[in-house]
Amino acid sequence: MSSPAITDAPLTEADVQRIRADFPILQTEVNGHPLVYLDSGATSQRPLAVLDAERDFVTTLNSAVHRGAHTLAAEATEVFEDARGTVARFIGADDDEIVWTSNATEAINLVAYAFSNASVGRGGPEAERFRLSEGDEIVTTEMEHHANLMPWQELAARTGATLRVIPLDDDGALRLDEMQISERTKIVAVTHVSNVLGVITPLAPIVAAAREVGALVLLDACQSAPHLPLDVRALDVDFAVLSGHKMLGPTGIGALYGRRELLAAMPPFLTGGSMITTVTTTSAAYLPPPQRFEAGTQKVSQAVALAAAIDYLSAVGMPRIAAHEAVLGQRLVDGLAAIDGVRVLGAGIELPRVGLASFDVPGIHSHDVGQFLDDRGIAVRVGHHCAQPLHRRLGVTASTRASTYLYSTEAEVDAFLDGVRSTIEFFGVRS
Ligand code: PLP
């Protein structure tokens, strides 16, 4: 692996330039301009170390894991399981508490499925925690990505449970005074960082309220794990979901963390090969977690590449990445707020942020803003970012989002801010 050979000091400009050299795509041009990639919240770029890890695996070890009796299969299995251990250590979990999924969306659906009363009667007393009846409650928030909303809507529809949504105030901050967690609450599913506001959720009071009533907690860590040190035990959550492609890894791979006792009580989400001990024509016995949840041929080279991505992040140092992005995030928010005619979503929220900000320019559609920026080689996300309820609450249908990563520079943020100013001048809109 070509890891960045940098010290423990906060990321300097030279560190970031060294990191950038590992990302071939950052050396490219778009529309005649050097690429300014400010869409890492949607998907991050991949360093050579990650591409190399996947290619090395495919060229030297490729074979089916947990199946073949031959040497390649045994070695591939070892590398695949080592990758699981890398994910586990990265978030403070144990190896057998990590389940490979295709993405975070699948991981959330897997957990939601366990509440469909398929768990009841399996796995001892913990299984009771998944019993969900009419009148029981599922709690989520108004700021969730659709991936952490719709599985719970579907679950409520299937079981007759009630979905409660912690509302946002006019600024976009969570109304913790209206937490809606009660004795009937069975699960609280909340994002760690909003993919629209970039604000870090004040988790402690939410987890404490859930604990008080014995509810489980699922953390959507898609926008936090890539950018902040994460320890699932310190946060005291029961489940956490990650998306590989947002943390320097490939698409097609995600991970679910679940507390060991809970995973042991949960039914398989998908059934088929690789997750059984014995099968008859009428019944099957399943392997323990995590294999119970990994039906069919696995995403082996992607898992290996995700482990390489995590090694890369760890070599740079998550606290340093977080510090770097806090600076960029503040620069984004302050710079946008200073532009006449721009409304930064969640600007009034006084909580720590990652390097992500969304904004609206009344009178200019976000697609036009995105197009104008793209003409200058600046890549941002436009639309509702899979968070329609949040946008609706803040009175907009869409926004433009800029999001940074460890390879982003202050100069890129400034180029983006210049681009936004020019967009507004071009369209002739003033507040
Ligand atoms: N949750 C959040 C906060 C996200 O930002 C995303 C992706 O944008 C997801 C969930 C879904 O991730 P995936 O599409 O990789 O399953």
- End residue of a domain, out of 280, 314, 348: 314
301 and 365 in one domain?
A: no
56 and 201 in one domain?
A: yes
* Helix H or strand E encompassing 279: strand 276-279
* Residues designated as active site: 386
Residue 108 near residue 148, CB atoms below 8 Å: yes
The answer to whether residue 118 is domain-embedded is: yes
The answer to whether residue 376 is domain-embedded is: yes
- Token pair of 141 as six digits: 């928030």
CATH code: domain of residue 191? 3.40.640.10
For residue range 283-308, list pLDDT tens digits in order. 999 999 999 999 999 999 999 999 99
Question: Ligand 1 centroid vs 60 CA: distance in angstroms?
Answer: 32
289 vs 119: CA distance, rounded Å:
14
Question: Ligand 1 pocket, 240 CB below 6 A?
Answer: no
Residues pairing with 141 in the sheet: 166
322 and 310 in one domain?
A: no
The three-point CA angle 197-361-414 to 5° equals 70
- Token pair of 15 as six digits: 């560190």
Question: Ligand 1 centroid vs 430 CA: distance in angstroms?
Answer: 34
The closest of 308, 272, 217, 251 to 104, measured between CA atoms, is: 251
Question: Ligand 1 pocket, 119 CB below 6 A?
Answer: no
For residue range 102-159, list pLDDT tens digits in order. 999 999 999 999 997 665 556 677 888 898 999 999 999 999 999 999 999 999 999 9
For residue range 13-26, list pLDDT tens digits in order. 999 999 999 999 99
Tell me which of 109, 194, 243 to substitute to probe ligand 1's pocket, judged by most ligand atoms within 8 Å of the beta carbon: 243
Q: Give how far Cα 403 sits from Cα of 197, 325, 359, 379, Å.
A: 10, 9, 12, 10
CATH code: domain of residue 399? 3.90.1150.10
Q: Which residue puts its alpha carbon closest to atom 4 of ligand 1?
A: 222
Place of tokens 């590398």: 79
**In this model, does residue 5 exceed pLDDT 50?**
no
Question: Ligand 1 centroid vs 243 CA: distance in angstroms?
Answer: 7
| Bridge-based pairing state of the strands 254-258 and 276-279 | unpaired
**In this model, does residue 2 exceed pLDDT 50?**
no
Mean pLDDT for the stretch of residues 369-376: 97
190 and 60 in one domain?
A: yes
38 and 83 in one domain?
A: no
Question: Ligand 1 pocket, 40 CB below 6 A?
Answer: no
CA dihedral of residues 363, 373, 328, 147 (deg, nearest 10): 70
108 vs 200: CA distance, rounded Å:
20
Per-residue confidence (pLDDT) for residue 6, from 0 to 100 = 37
254 vs 264: CA distance, rounded Å:
20
Mean pLDDT for the stretch of residues 208-217: 98
259 and 187 in one domain?
A: yes
**In this model, does residue 7 exceed pLDDT 50?**
no
> What are residue 276's phi and psi, to 5 degrees?
-125, 160
Place of tokens 């999924």: 101
Q: Which residue puts its alpha carbon closest to atom 6 of ligand 1?
A: 222
> What are residue 357's phi and psi, to 5 degrees?
-145, 140
Ligand 1 atom nearest to 42, measured from its CA: 8
Place of tokens 């659906």: 109
> Which of helix, strand or coil describes residue 30?
strand
334 and 243 in one domain?
A: no
CB neighbour class for 387 (10 Å; exposed up to 12, middle 13-18, buried from 19): buried
The answer to whether residue 289 is domain-embedded is: yes
Ligand 1 atom nearest to 144, measured from its CA: 3
> Which of helix, strand or coil describes residue 45?
coil
The answer to whether residue 110 is domain-embedded is: yes
For residue range 29-86, list pLDDT tens digits in order. 999 999 999 999 999 999 999 999 999 999 999 998 987 789 999 999 999 999 999 9
Is-cis flag, bond preceding 290, omega within 30? yes
Question: Ligand 1 centroid vs 358 CA: distance in angstroms?
Answer: 16
The answer to whether residue 73 is domain-embedded is: yes
**Region of 128 on the Ramachandran plot (φ > 0 left; ψ -120 to 50 alpha; else beta):** alpha
For residue range 251-282, list pLDDT tens digits in order. 999 999 999 999 999 999 999 998 999 999 99
The answer to whether residue 195 is domain-embedded is: yes
DSSP assignments along 345-395, one per residue: TTTT--S-B-SEEEEEBTTB-HHHHHHHHHHTTEE-EEE-TT-HHHHHHTT
408 and 303 in one domain?
A: no
302 vs 153: CA distance, rounded Å:
30
More confident residue, 389 or 5: 389
Distance between the two ends of the chain, CA-based, in angstroms? 50
The closest of 221, 183, 181, 185 to 205, measured between CA atoms, is: 181
199 vs 85: CA distance, rounded Å:
29
The answer to whether residue 8 is domain-embedded is: no
383 and 304 in one domain?
A: no
- DSSP one-letter code for 166: E
Tell me which of 39, 219, 223 to substitute to probe ligand 1's pocket, judged by most ligand atoms within 8 Å of the beta carbon: 223
272 vs 278: CA distance, rounded Å:
11
> What are residue 166's phi and psi, to 5 degrees?
-65, 120
Ligand 1 atom nearest to 194, measured from its CA: 3
Residue 329 near residue 335, CB atoms below 8 Å: no
Domain hosting 389: range is 13-43+317-427
Question: Ligand 1 centroid vs 8 CA: distance in angstroms?
Answer: 30
Question: Ligand 1 centroid vs 246 CA: distance in angstroms?
Answer: 8
Tell me which of 144, 195, 196 to substitute to probe ligand 1's pocket, judged by most ligand atoms within 8 Å of the beta carbon: 195
Average pLDDT, the chain: 94
80 vs 310: CA distance, rounded Å:
14
Ligand 1 atom nearest to 246, measured from its CA: 15
242 vs 253: CA distance, rounded Å:
9
Residue 253 near residue 223, CB atoms below 8 Å: no
160 and 84 in one domain?
A: yes
Total domains in the chain come to: 2
Ligand 1 atom nearest to 251, measured from its CA: 15
Question: Ligand 1 centroid vs 202 CA: distance in angstroms?
Answer: 19
**Region of 341 on the Ramachandran plot (φ > 0 left; ψ -120 to 50 alpha; else beta):** left
- End residue of a domain, out of 314, 339, 368: 314
Per-residue confidence (pLDDT) for residue 143, from 0 to 100 = 98
In percent, the amount of the chain with pLDDT more than 90 equals 92
Q: Which residue puts its alpha carbon closest to atom 8 of ligand 1?
A: 42
Per-residue confidence (pLDDT) for residue 222, from 0 to 100 = 98
- End residue of a domain, out of 276, 298, 314: 314
The answer to whether residue 4 is domain-embedded is: no
Per-residue confidence (pLDDT) for residue 125, from 0 to 100 = 77
188 and 84 in one domain?
A: yes
Question: Ligand 1 pocket, 256 CB below 6 A?
Answer: no
Tell me which of 200, 386, 401 to substitute to probe ligand 1's pocket, judged by most ligand atoms within 8 Å of the beta carbon: 386
300 and 169 in one domain?
A: yes
222 vs 241: CA distance, rounded Å:
7
